[in-house]
A and B are shown apart, each in its own frame.
Chain A
């Protein structure tokens, strides 16, 4: 596609509910990132994939957060037993370098705004 897409754009969940957020990266982009952006803050790194391999999940805030990218393209971020503090915008980004490249731009999707009541 022309850019990174995410769905749903908005999600309201009741506390304790499980949610799944989808990211479609730019076609052919090897690297995929998830970030969490709390209200009034900058994005915070959650996890990083290179193709289907999750190379870094150091930013995931708890074991309730799980991400996958089984075929190296679409990725899903799953949050189990949602809590109010999970309310945030979840951003997905991709770039097309296999290696850790300083020069390559991360292209961001519009985000999914999650509200946990």
Chain B
């Protein structure tokens, strides 16, 4: 079935460090790919998305590129802040579908 596998956490970083969270997917069709973020005590929020191969999604300094050849959508940020501490979820939805399929989430803690 269609699924997402993401890097296990937790990840602990110092402020201004480089962050990468790996995400790979398995899909029968051509999915759209998403990164959602869940800050403590808040609901899931869309961080960025990409709908076709080679698209790059970006927001709040985060970037992810849809790589069809490696079926990946890795999340990166060049310089993290304490406020980036959250749980990050990679997700997909298929063409003509509506359900989101999520990875297990990666907890990121940034220390000052």
Contact = CB atoms under 8 A, between A and B. Distances in A.
Nearest to B95: A102
Contact of B104 (A41, A102, A108): A41
Contacts of B98: 31, 33, 48, 56, 100-101
Contacts of B45: 108
Contacts, number: 56
Interface residues of B, number: 25
A1 to B, nearest CB: 13
A111 B43 contact: yes
Contacts of A45: 99-101
Contacts of A106: 46, 100
A28 interface: no
Contacts of A105: 46, 49
A67 interface: no
A59 B51 CA distance: 24
Interface in B29-78: 32, 36, 41-46, 49, 51
Interface of A: 3-4, 31, 33, 35, 40-45, 48, 56, 59, 91, 93, 100-103, 105-106, 108-111
